[in-house]
Amino acid sequence: MTVRGLGKSYGDVTAVAGVDLAIRRGEVFALLGPNGAGKTTTVEVLEGHRRRDRGEVSVLGEDPGTAGRAWRARIGIVLQTANDAAELTVRESVRHYAGYYAHPADVDEVIERVGLTEKAGARVKSLSGGQRRRLDVALGIIGGPELVFLDEPTTGFDPEARRQFWALIRSLASTGTTILLTTHYLDEAEALADRVAVIVGGRVVAEGTPATLGGRSQAKATVSWLAEEGPRTMLTDTPTALIAELSRGRELPELTVTRPSLEDTYLELIGETR
């Protein structure tokens, strides 16, 4: 997937102001940014749901603005909110969506893949939030997509449900499916994404792996310890050398070495551009 100079405006408001992206097949790519940054518009253009004003876009080798039904069968979309067929069972819902595709995956295999086999006969309205999101993924992958869009997939989840859902996404990615993820959870991006991009004000302000985004891997380390006179903290480019110098054969109580977290880096990036 390649995006060059993507632009979109709504009247006098510029939502996307020249976004460039390159997403490799088979990777999990996270798109981060504050509300109103242009994430949703960018993703809707990539999905073929919104026309762009300018720029070049290629998704699975085609322009989503003109691609036809065969192209749409190659992508899966898991929206943040979905309209329920509350009275249908899980199996009925997945079978219904399978009818939209010429060559859908096996219904029961997909239900098993998302961990809902025991709930296959349950009505959608009886599912928990985590189970409902698993069903959303089943509906998104029943066509056997090469690319899946995940929009804020774990909003409102408790910690256990989020970890379970992460395992599902990792399983999906392990099959070679490309995943474009939007999320407000920085730990989610760090846990799942091969690479991330931060959009602020309609532009990409940083891109890289979670470990290197915004120069994170090169940032100074914070070394903290408990000295005789009390807590001490030092910033250094060479934490190992500093610790060796400080210790000199003695223990350093409560020693910690930290570098900026992904959240620290993200907040700095969006703060610098506001």
| Tens-digit pLDDT profile for residues 9-35 | 999 999 999 999 999 999 999 999 998
HEC assignment per residue over the chain: CEEEEEEEEECCEEEEEEEEEECCCCCEEEEECCCCCCHHHHHHHHHCCCCCCEEEEEECCECCCCCCHHHHCCEEEECCCCCCCCCCEHHHHHHHHHCCCCCCCCHHHHHHHCCCHHHCCCEHHHCCHHHHHHHHHHHHHCCCCCEEEEECCCCCCCHHHHHHHHHHHHHHHHCCCEEEEECCCHHHHHHHCCEEEEEECCEEEEEECCCCHHHHHHCCEEEEEEECCEEEEEEECCHHHHHHHHHCCCCCCCCEEECCCHHHHHHHHHHHCC
- The pLDDT, as a whole number, for residue 84 is 63
pLDDT at 263 over 90: no
Q: Give 233's Cβ-side CA count (13 Å radius).
A: 5
Q: For 70-112, how does the pLDDT look when each residue is reduced to its tens digit (9 = 90+)?
A: 999 999 998 766 666 788 999 999 999 999 888 899 999 999 9
Q: What is the pTM of this model?
A: 0.81
Q: pLDDT per residue over 34-65, tens digit each?
A: 988 999 999 999 999 999 999 999 999 999 99
At residue 183, what is the residue type? T
**CB 154, CB 183: distance < 8 Å:** yes
CB 39 within 8 A of CB 9: no
The confidence score (pLDDT) of residue 250 equals 81
The Cα–Cα gap between 101 and 82 comes to 19
State residue 205's pLDDT score. 93
